[in-house]
């Protein structure tokens, strides 16, 4: 089934909606007539985006690294009188540097948000979608899901989980009226890298300009992918080609190249 049609008692829940790809996906869904529930930690940013999007946008601040906050989220959406027909698991973060020099608490927090929260929210929101016979899930992975990534080992492994998990969901959901799509963007100028610990200049040295895609274009590709029930969406021709190459390249050749150019290992 394609993206469920909007309705007065229906909504799309978008996590990590305060900026970047999440905010752009929320804007794109609103343009298509959907009510949106915006989820992130930043209260001020969520409220500004909700005000921009109008009466059918609802800000629900939540820390998705907190298991209690995640457990409460479905009930908070339903308390608004809305059935969550679309779930966009976009919230995510990365650490930077070799595992041997990592902060265990930061590593576990990343896995909690990038991996555990995705599985947690899918397991909470999907039963209602299947019962209603309509729904769409978009889980945001990365082109890093197709390869190891020395310097961001936990991040790449987490995104590989998201990709595999979403593909498995799609197989389970056949015939239910609910779809599952994995979004695998390449580099996007959203401030994500700076939050991880490397500068925009370092990122653009490591990755050629042809691979960079604007966040709004990524969001358009993502929502269009949901609308067409696509299994995997990789915005940008260069990123699609690179993801194929990454899967077939011998790891003995690929790993030294990746480690040499990664800013986290300089």
Domain that holds residue 226: 10-265
Closest CA to 129 of 91, 159, 173: 173
Mean model confidence pLDDT for the chain = 93
% of the chain beyond a pLDDT of 70 = 92
Does the pLDDT value for residue 206 go beyond 80?
Answer: no
| Domain annotation covers residue 1 | no
pLDDT at 82: 98
Q: Which H helix or E strand runs over 239?
A: helix 237-248
Rounded CA-CA distance 130/195 in Å is: 36
pLDDT in tens, 212-251: 899 999 999 999 999 999 999 999 999 999 999 999 999 9
- C-alpha to C-alpha distance for 68 and 53, rounded to whole angstroms: 28
Instruction: Give the Cα separation of 137 and 117 in Å (integer).
Output: 14
- pLDDT score for 153: 98
Residue 128 lies in a domain: yes
Q: What is the pLDDT of residue 195?
A: 53
Phi-psi region of 90 (alpha: psi -120 to 50; beta: other; left: phi over 0): alpha
The 10 Å Cβ neighbour count of residue 127 is 11
Task: Please identify every residue annotated as catalytic.
Answer: 155
Q: How many domains does the chain have?
A: 1
Q: How confident is the model at residue 263 (pLDDT cuts 50, 70, 90)?
A: confident
Q: Would you state the pLDDT for residue 210?
A: 79
Residue 2 maps to a domain = no
Q: Assess if residue 3 is contained within a domain.
A: no
pLDDT score of 200: 59
Write the pLDDT tens digit of every residue in 8-36.
999 999 999 999 999 999 999 999 999 99
Q: Using an 8 Å Cβ cutoff, are 184 and 82 in contact?
A: no
Q: Please say if the pLDDT value at position 203 is more than 90.
A: no
pTM (predicted TM-score):
0.93
For the chain, how big is the Rg over CA atoms in Å? 18
The answer to whether residue 4 is domain-embedded is no
DSSP SS3 for 89: strand
The two tokens of residue 263 are 């800013």
pLDDT, tens only, 150-197: 999 999 999 999 999 999 999 999 999 999 999 999 999 766 555 545
Q: Would residue 117 count as lying in a domain?
A: yes
Cβ 91 vs Cβ 22: under 8 Å: yes
137 forms beta bridges with 87, 180
For 75-84, what is the mean pLDDT?
98
User: How far is residue 46's CA from residue 69's CA, in Å, rounded to a whole number?
Assistant: 16
Residue 140 domain-assigned (yes or no): yes
Q: Please report where in the chains the tokens 């909690």 appear, as a residue.
A: 112
User: What is the rounded CA–CA span in Å between residue 256 and residue 129?
Assistant: 44
Q: What is the CATH number of the domain that holds 178?
A: 3.40.50.720
Backbone angles phi, psi at 92, to 5 degrees: -170, 165
Is there a domain that residue 188 lies in?
yes
pLDDT band at 77 (very low <50, low <70, confident <90, very high): very high
pLDDT recorded at residue 211? 86
- What are 177's two structure tokens? 């009226």
């Amino acid at each position: 089934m394609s993206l469920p049609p909007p309705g007065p008692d229906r909504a799309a829940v978008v996590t990590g909606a305060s900026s970047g790809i999440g905010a752009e996906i929320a804007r794109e869904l609103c343009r298509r007539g959907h009510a949106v529930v915006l989820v992130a930690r930043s209260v001020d940013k969520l409220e500004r985006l909700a005000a921009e999007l109008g009466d059918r946008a609802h800000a629900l601040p939540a820390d998705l690294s907190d298991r209690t906050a995640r457990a409460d989220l479905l009930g908070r959406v339903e308390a608004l009188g809305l059935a969550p027909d679309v779930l966009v698991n976009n919230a995510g973060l990365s650490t930077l540097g070799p595992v041997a020099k990592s902060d265990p608490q930061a590593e576990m927090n990343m896995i909690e948000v990038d991996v555990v929260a995705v599985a947690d929210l899918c397991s909470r929101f999907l039963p209602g979608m299947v019962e209603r016979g309509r729904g769409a899930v978009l889980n945001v992975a990365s082109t890093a899901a197709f390869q190891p990534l020395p310097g961001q080992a936990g991040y790449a492994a987490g995104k590989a989980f998201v990709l595999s998990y979403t593909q498995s969901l799609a197989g389970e959901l056949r015939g239910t009226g609910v779809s599952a799509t994995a979004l695998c963007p390449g580099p996007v100028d959203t401030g994500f890298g700076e939050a991880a610990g490397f500068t925009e200049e370092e990122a653009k040295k490591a990755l050629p300009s042809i691979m960079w895609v604007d966040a709004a274009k990524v969001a358009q590709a993502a929502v269009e992918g949901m609308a067409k029930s696509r299994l995997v969406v990789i915005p940008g021709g260069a990123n699609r080609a690179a993801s194929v190459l990454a899967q077939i390249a011998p790891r003995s050749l690929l790993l030294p190249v990746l480690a040499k150019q990664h800013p986290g290992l300089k």
